[in-house]
Amino acid sequence: MESFPSEFSDLLNKRGRRLLTNPPMKRNYSDSLRKTMRVKTATLNSRKSHALDAAHEIGLAEMMRSQSFRAFAEAIVGMPVQRKSWGRQVICYEQGDYSGPHNDHHPEDDTTRNGFVDLHIMFSNDAVRSQWLVYEERGFLSASHEVSGRSGIAVYRLPFWHYTTPLVARPGRESAARRWLLLGSFDFDPPPKKPMW
């Protein structure tokens, strides 16, 4: 091709020309954003879980079921949370892994529709260069925080919009980079009558 065609459509393949004749968006702001992610994850809530067996062997299951684990989340948010059971999950981010934009709002669930609490215990190995949590502030995804430090603890009152950027390894250490996230999810007890946000 020595020069551009006079019509942009002449540059398009079949799919592109089909988009011109039949555009997908029918109304403003009608698109929905599904939660997407690429991580390794294991829940510790099922007694049949092989991950739970491994977590018992190293004491992780007991630590994440301890009353001090629950009490820490409760102390930070200043409200009582469920004492008998809560969600437990282990997440591992490797090179390029991420969690896409989501708000963790569950309006169909009476116990969580108006809010719940997540406790994150995070640690990374020295092969990790960076990973960022981008989160909502005053209705916009305008705040961010580096989460790839050697260790850290965060407690969140959900729901709110957030995402985690792809993990970036140090050059030449891509296959070794790991960021671990131990996640406890607690329902308020009693559930809030009004939204927490």
CA distances from 5 to 8, 15, 20, 65 (A): 7, 18, 17, 66
Q: Which of 10-24, 33-47, 122-136 has the highest mean pLDDT?
A: 122-136
Q: Where are the alpha helices (DSSP H) in the chain?
A: 14-21, 50-57, 60-65, 67-77
Q: What gap in Å lies between CA 23 and CA 64, rounded to an integer?
A: 49
Q: How confident is the model at residue 187 (pLDDT cuts 50, 70, 90)?
A: very high
Q: Say which range, 60-69, 103-112, 163-172, has the weakest mean pLDDT.
A: 103-112
On whether residue 54 sits in a domain, the answer given is yes
Q: What gap in Å lies between CA 177 and CA 197, rounded to an integer?
A: 35
Residue 104 has pLDDT above 80, yes or no: yes
- How many Cβ atoms sit within 10 Å of the Cβ of residue 137? 12
- Peptide bond before residue 24 is cis, with ω within 30 degrees of 0: no
Q: Which domain holds residue 82?
A: 39-187
pLDDT for 117 equals 97
On whether residue 123 sits in a domain, the answer given is yes
Q: How confident is the model at residue 47 (pLDDT cuts 50, 70, 90)?
A: confident
Q: What gap in Å lies between CA 118 and CA 51, rounded to an integer?
A: 20
pLDDT for 12 equals 92
On whether residue 10 sits in a domain, the answer given is no
Q: How confident is the model at residue 31 (pLDDT cuts 50, 70, 90)?
A: low
Residue 121 has pLDDT above 80, yes or no: yes
Residue 80 has pLDDT above 70, yes or no: yes
On whether residue 136 sits in a domain, the answer given is yes
CA 135 to chain centre: 11
On whether residue 11 sits in a domain, the answer given is no
Residue 143 has pLDDT above 90, yes or no: yes
Residue 3 DSSP SS3: coil
Of 161, 82, 73, residue with least CA distance to 119: 73
Greater confidence (33 vs 5) lies with: 5
On whether residue 92 sits in a domain, the answer given is yes
Residues 28-34 have a mean pLDDT of 72
pLDDT for 24 equals 73
Residues 20-29 have a mean pLDDT of 78
Residue 126 has pLDDT above 90, yes or no: yes
Domain count, the chain: 1
Residue 28 has pLDDT above 90, yes or no: no
CATH code where residue 83 lies? 2.60.120.620
Residues 82-102 have a mean pLDDT of 96
On whether residue 23 sits in a domain, the answer given is no
Sign of CA dihedral 110, 111, 114, 115: negative
CB 48 within 8 A of CB 95: no
